[in-house]
Amino acid sequence: MSTEPFKNVIMLPQTNQLTGLYTIIRDQNTKRPDFIFYADRIIRLLVEEGLNHLPVQPRTVETSTNQKYEGVSFLGKICGVSIVRAGESMEQGLRECCRSVRIGKILIQRDEETAQPKLFFEKLPEDIAERYVFLLDPMLATGGSAAMATEVLIKRGVKPERIFFLNLICSKEGVDYYHSKFPGVKIVTGAVDPCLDENKYLVPGLGDFGDRYYCL
């Protein structure tokens, strides 16, 4: 698990707990119920870290002991946008942290003739341009699908600095490609793998996240 710094990549603290969680989900012998449980724990950490980077303003409240507490409140509204299907696995973690959060969806699949990503479907909140957006996809491999999804958001009026791309594992290649197109978008992740194999899977990776979460 790489801990090399990248500009605009926010890494989860590389604690023993986090390493233990990644050890479980990377293990090919981990059964589906355990994979889901521990992947969900990492997703929750990613959402919490993303929320740490949203802007706030001062707010004073009165406590039950009739004392004033100098706190903060969030500025602006947020929404989640999942890249279907694997990104949908991250929606519940966002809902657990943000009550009544709006969720949008983008479906991108690889064109079998060109091997390039192709946009098939999008459904986004009408006021998405006014929100901070958590773009959800568990893996950043080549960066093609993430880049296309980000282009959709920007065309709908979302400013790049209001987009946070949350994922469990990146490749260095994917980070470099994605930020060559969108240097202002922050990536929130827990691991950066060093390379891709000949099939464009992350190495060491964990296999196909969607299959392991939904099917196996």
Distance between CA 81 and CA 62 in Å, rounded? 35
* Known active-site residue 208: yes
The one catalytic residue in 127, 176, 197, 211 is 211
Q: Which residue has the tokens 């880049």?
A: 147
Closest CA relative to residue 122, chosen from 84, 159, 87:
84
Distance between CA 125 and CA 77 in Å, rounded? 12
* Known active-site residue 131: no
140 neighbors 117 (Cβ within 8 angstroms): no
46 neighbors 93 (Cβ within 8 angstroms): yes
The one catalytic residue in 110, 127, 176, 197 is 110
User: Could you give the 3-state DSSP secondary structure of residue 72?
Assistant: strand
* Known active-site residue 197: no
User: Could you give the 3-state DSSP secondary structure of residue 112?
Assistant: coil
* Known active-site residue 211: yes
CA 78 to each of CA 50, 153, 214: distance values in angstroms, whole numbers, following the listed order? 11, 13, 27
The one catalytic residue in 40, 95, 102, 208 is 208
**Sign of the torsion formed by the C-alpha atoms of 65, 70, 75 and 80:** negative
User: Could you give the 3-state DSSP secondary structure of residue 209?
Assistant: helix
User: Which H or E element spans position 211?
Assistant: helix 209-214
Enumerate the active-site residues: 110, 114, 208, 211
